[in-house]
Amino acid sequence: MDIKFVKDKETMAVTASSVIAEAIRQKPNLLLCAATGNSPTETYKKLILQKANFDSSQLRIIKLDEWGGVLMNNPQTCEQYLQQYLIRPLDISPERYFAFQSKSEDPVNEIARMQTILTVNGTIDICILGLGLNGHIAFNEPAEQLEPNCHIATLSKQSMQHSMASEMDSKPTYGLTLGMADILQSKLIIMLVSGQNKKDIITKFLSKQITTQIPASFLWLHKNVQCFIDEQIV
């Protein structure tokens, strides 16, 4: 794992976005798996500022996870976040954007649909991740066993305290997410960690102890991870 301590979120965003932009230049039809939340926002903004330097007309984007049981037009969904920061600014057409539906009539069929989409489109080229306060990545929550593929997740207390969920009038009742194997098969993983509230979990993560109680710890087994950490939280 390549750990990069950066002086602030601005530096993190500039550096990480340049890695993504260069990868798109090298492979225009790249499959990008996009996380949501506070940590990747500035990186996405910086990526958009560079879009004159790469061709996004073939770029494919798959949503990492979604709050379940809420309407897709809820402003706090992952859907609305990605539409704002990536899909519309990069002019990603519907046939090149693959997304969990937040309020599917049949969530079991929904996760099966997304797993099929992932299988058909091939291995994820770049997977963008944040780090949850309890060590989760996507909605792969701490547990005795972790799910390998797309699944319906029971949301932890920490996940329900996330700013996106806490600001919803109608609260999510479950999560929809790619699984650990889906993520770990990515060719490149970029994890962005910022925020003073991440101090305790980043200390545990950096211990390199691999445990299902800290799902992000499994990233230590991956051969190509770039982990950007705001040095102010260490």
Active site residues: 65, 134, 136, 141
C-alpha–C-alpha distance, residues 112 and 150, integer Å: 7
Contact yes or no for 124/62 (Cβ under 8 A)? yes
Residues listed for the chain:
234
Number of helices (H), then strands (E), belonging to the chain: the values are 8, 10
Amino acid at 73: N
What is the helix (H) or strand (E) element at residue 157, kind and residue range? helix 157-160
What does the angle CA 12 – CA 160 – CA 221 come to, to the nearest 5 degrees? 50
Contact yes or no for 167/107 (Cβ under 8 A)? no
Nearest to 65 by CA among 114, 109, 30, 113: 114
Contacts of 214 (CB under 8 A, 6+ apart): 134, 135, 142, 201, 204, 205
